[in-house]
Structure 1
Amino acid sequence: MGKIKIVGLGPGDYSLISQGALEALQSSSRIFLRTEKHPTVDKLKETIKYTSLDYFYDKEENFEDVYGKISEFVIDLSKEGDLVYAVPGHPRVAERTVSIIESMAKEKGIEVETIASMSFVDAMFNYLAIDPADGFKLVDAFEIENAYIDTNTSMIITQIYDSFIASNIKLKLMEYYDYDQEVCIVNGAGVKNLESKKYVLLHELDRIENKFDYLSSLYIPKSSKRMYNTVHELEKIMSTLRSPSGCDWDKKQTHESLKKYLIEESYELCQAIDNDDIDEMIEELGDILLQVIFHCQIGQEEGFFDLKEVVNGICTKLIHRHPHVFNNEDIDMETFERTWEELKQEEKGETNITEGLKRIPAHLPALIKAEKIQHKASLIGFDWDKIEDVIKKIEEEYKELLDECEAGNIKYIKEELGDLLFSIVNLARFLKIDPEEALNCTSQKFINRFEFMEQSAMKSNKKLEDMTLEEQDELWNKAKSNKIN
């Protein structure tokens, strides 16, 4: 096995190649360049012979495959003796093949020596007159989708070869930065007579007049303007609000005191959905998310749970309840609801159906709770066969209610009224109508018709409360005939 020397060619100017890198190149007869598309190569041609590995870029479909194949090729070549593998810039700065080669070499017992030259990052900071001691993040343009973007730190994005890549970068960055965030396009950093920089607004990044090539990078300074678009941001804000120097109201809240707000926010979201108001939906979903983070913060402070446990719980549950998606199990989708309920029983450690019925929250609105009870019972076959039977049951409960009303038995009137409502919910379920939604629609319709009545009375210089029932009925019927809904 031969030794692999990995050398850096510097940012592009011949004067910036290290002495060690030049000596390694000039003393080797087996030199392989990841790419000869580098300004330094023109000068190096005068004193060395090399083989370019650029042809791998034409053979493979994506850069990850290119890097993998080049690395395998270099490792195989080392079996025939010592060699030098040269890469642009500094071997340890944004050079994927170097880490792959080192990893493979370690497994095979191959000796690797790395000889540094100045990186293009050093050249960029020098050219832009910026001190890197303030901190920065280096990101490959081809890996930005999975990169963590921190607007509090300056960033350099490499390998922006063309306007198409620049456009993708722009779209990603606009998820975190303001539309008018200033960025700097840097071309040929560290290469005399090629260096250039252009400051543009982020939304202008991919305009046709902006030039990009294999020596292009992007510098984004840290920004006080930002988009808060991760749950982590909300966690930090809530932690601050609950801290000793935070808000007195937030600090005194408990799981119990917050219950009503979660219910209120949920109903406000429902209203936004009914109104088809997207902006309102965004706001109300944020309010609900706030409640989740609020409870997680309290749970963390008390030492019982945190957001990570909540997320892990729901992810685990979703995977478990969708075995046909995540475990390739065959499931009859006709009976999927039954399977779903069985999986829930398994998670909860329930041994019978009644335990599942008792698990339904007591605080649910009565119509919703009744529908859930009936639905769970129907999954094991305890249900009416035909809608006609459901209607017959309603008629039966209605007659029993009338009988108790005639007898004046208050206790049984309440019971029979409940039975009648329960059977009406059953009818709604058979008709595939949400009883809660249906009743809310009727309540709104009543309000609209009542408003019509009151406005009509006012036009006649009257008040509804001063009118006879017959006069009120006349206005009501008029509202109906005008199709006030």
Structure 2
Amino acid sequence: MPALTVIGLGAAELDQLPLGLYKFIKQAKSFYIRTEDHPVVQELVEEGITFTSFDAVYEKHEDFSAVYREIADTLIALAAKEDVIYAVPGHPLVAEQTVQHLIEAEREGKVSLQIKGGQSFLDPLFTAVRVDPIEGFQLLDGTAMRRDDIQMNQHLFIGQVYDAFSASEVKLTLMEKYPDDFPVTIVTAAGSSKEVIRTVPLFELDRGMELSNLTTVYVPPANEREQRYKEWQTFREIVAILRSPEGCPWDREQTHESLKRYSIEEVYELIQAINEQDDEAIVEELGDVLLQVFLHAQIGEDEGYFSMEDILQSISEKMVRRHPHVFGEVTVNSSGEVLSNWQAIKETEKPKVEHLLQGQRREESSLLTSFNFQKKAATVGFDWPDVAGAWSKFDEELQEWKHAIEHGTLEQQVDELGDVLFTLVNLSRFLKLSPELAMQQANQKFERRFRFVETSVREGRGDFGDYTLDELEEFWQQAKHEERRG
């Protein structure tokens, strides 16, 4: 089988090309290069070396992936007939997608591949910005860079920033994490006689810069904690410090049990912010909920039982497992089928219970416990056939409560009140309404209207005792009227 040899042209001029590679090129018969846009190419022409470039392929396609695929396919076809030499900028194994396609073809037995080195652009780049790579660095493709790829505590090098459009895309991605004025360095033709280095604030990255396929953007580590507030790792570090011996006495004292009430309070406050459609409050309250998650995770890690990684693994596995229509081969046609599959999968995951209602109790919420009990009992047919039965049961329990109030003991009255509330929860289940949410909204509504009454009293005669109940009721009706107008 003829051989396809890939060589690297290095990062700069001909005098940086290893002598062995130069001799190899000189005796080449079938010589192809990915692009002529490289400092060494003109010197090769002056040396009398002939070659065929793939620059025309770039004009045929709108995206680079198609370009690289066509170049690789063409080379494989050529190598089936004769020995071929293919040259790329820098080193063949550094940021070179065409070579990755060729390696894939080699694994499939489609081509006999040899790779010969060449200086990558990284060596002169490290020199240009004075970076020791052992400190930790990332090399990212500017045409496919995602926010979540970025590690702000490392040196970041971004290639493929070849024009204003790609620079703008890179800038916008970086701005999702870095401050707008964070310093970034633009390096073009690193290591060559035409090397250009310029440091600008991030927001100027795509403004008036001379960019080319030899341009790399360097972003230094964000060493100040305040610069890394948008990173998960930073928040985790803050929580760990709070729980450390040098941290906060209150945070160190907390346990899973002591934090329970705060977790509930924060969720309720989040729901209130959602009900009020207050985006700023939602952001703040989501942060408070997230704090509870991180505190519990840190307590687990401090005690040696589990860590944040265990939590992430558990929920990731569950989401993939319970969405076989997304991550597997299952087909669904409606959200109803999704829920049915979810429940079926969930049942296989849970250990067998001795009693049907086992595990359904929620100590922090009697409403939610009632809802769960009734929902679970309904799964085995212990339920009214329709909502009419639930309404009849409510009327029956209401009459029994009224009778207990007139004739029964205090214990009987409380017992019958519980039955009324229980049937109300059942009605809410039939009507697909959340009793917990309904009660929260009722409390919020009462608080809001009573504040209006209180303010009206203060602005009037100054004391509740100076008003009749009818006058206070008038304030209450005014509060309702204001809500409808708002």
TM-score by length of 2: 0.85
Change over 3 Å in CA distance of 1:160–1:368 after alignment to 2: same
Q: How does 1:313-462 map to 2 (within 5 A)?
A: 313-326=314-327, 327-330=329-332, 333-334=335-336, 337=339, 339-350=341-352, 355=356, 357-458=357-458, 461=461
Shift of 1:149: 1.8
Q: 1:140 to 1:186 in 2, by over 3 A?
A: same
Written as runs of structure 1 = structure 2, the 5 A alignment for 1:52-67 is 52-59=53-60, 62-67=63-68
* Identical-residue share of aligned pairs (%): 37
What residue is the counterpart of 1:272 in the other structure? 273
- Matched pairs, number: 476
Give 1:459 deviation, angstroms.
Answer: 5.3
Question: Which SS does the other structure have where 1:49 is aligned?
Answer: coil
Deviation at 1:419, TM superposition (A): 0.6
Sort the Cα spacing of 1:56 and 1:412 in 2 relative to 1 into closer, same or farther, 3 A: same
2:34 match: 34
Q: Pairwise mapping of residues 13-412 of structure 1 onto structure 2 (< 5 A)? A: 13-46=13-46, 47-59=48-60, 62-102=63-103, 104-105=105-106, 108=109, 110=112, 112-116=114-118, 118-128=119-129, 136-145=137-146, 148-192=149-193, 194-207=194-207, 209-225=208-224, 226-326=227-327, 327-330=329-332, 333-334=335-336, 337=339, 339-350=341-352, 355=356, 357-412=357-412
The RMSD of aligned alpha carbons is 3.2
| Per-residue Cα deviation, 1:76-108 (whole angstroms, up to 9, x for no partner) | 444444432211123343223334435644664
Say which of 473, 476, 481 aligns to 1:477.
Answer: 473
TM-score where L is the length of structure 1: 0.85
1:386-408 Cα distance to aligned partner (Å, 9 max, x none):
54443332221122112222223
Query: Could you say what secondary structure the match of 1:35 adopts?
Result: coil
Secondary structure of residue in 2 paired with 1:142: coil
Q: CA deviation at 1:202?
A: 0.9
Cα gap change, 1:257 to 1:99, in 2 (>3 Å): same
C-alpha distance in structure 1 between counterparts of 2:393 and 2:131, whole Å: 81
Q: Which amino acid aligns with 1:198?
A: R
User: Where does the alignment leave 5 or more consecutive residues of structure 2 unmatched?
Assistant: none
Paired letter, 2:178: Y
> How far off its partner does 1:474 sit?
1.5
| Displacement after TM superposition at 1:418 (Å) | 0.6
Change (3 A) 1:252 1:48: same
Note closer, same or farther for the CA distance 1:396–1:373 as it changes in structure 2 (3 Å cut).
Answer: same
Letter in 2 for 1:184: T
**1:177-201 Cα distance to aligned partner (Å, 9 max, x none):** 1110111222333443x43333321
- C-alpha separation in 2, matches of 1:462 and 1:58: 81
Whole-Å separation in 2 of the counterparts to 1:453 and 1:147: 50
Which letter does structure 2 place at the counterpart of 1:297? Q
Q: CA-to-partner distance for each residue in 1:221-275, whole Å, 9 max, x for gaps? A: 2233533334343333333444454444333432222222212221222222233
Q: Give me the whole-angstrom Cα distance separating, in 1, the residues matched to 2:155 and 2:232.
A: 22
Q: After the TM superposition, which of the residue ranges 404-413 and 320-329 deviates more from structure 2? A: 320-329
Conservation of the 8 A alpha-carbon contact between 2:5 and 2:116: yes
CA contact (8 A) 2:177 2:230 kept: yes
Secondary structure of 1:183 counterpart: strand
In 2, the alpha carbon distance for the partners of 1:446 and 1:220 equals 53
The 10-residue stretch of structure 1 (247-256 or 174-183) with the greater mean CA deviation from structure 2: 247-256
What is the alpha-carbon distance in structure 2 between the residues aligned to residue 94 and residue 371 of structure 1?
57
- CA deviation map 1:139-184 (0-9, x unaligned): 2223422873222332221121221111111111112211101112
Q: Which piece of structure 1 moves more, 253-262 or 376-385?
A: 376-385
Partner Cα separation in structure 2 for residue 106 and residue 224 of structure 1: 42
Runs of at least 5 residues in structure 1 that lack an aligned partner in the other structure: none
- What SS is found at the alignment partner of 1:329? coil
Within 1, Cα distance between the matches of 2:133 and 2:351?
56
Displacement of 1:204 in angstroms is 1.8
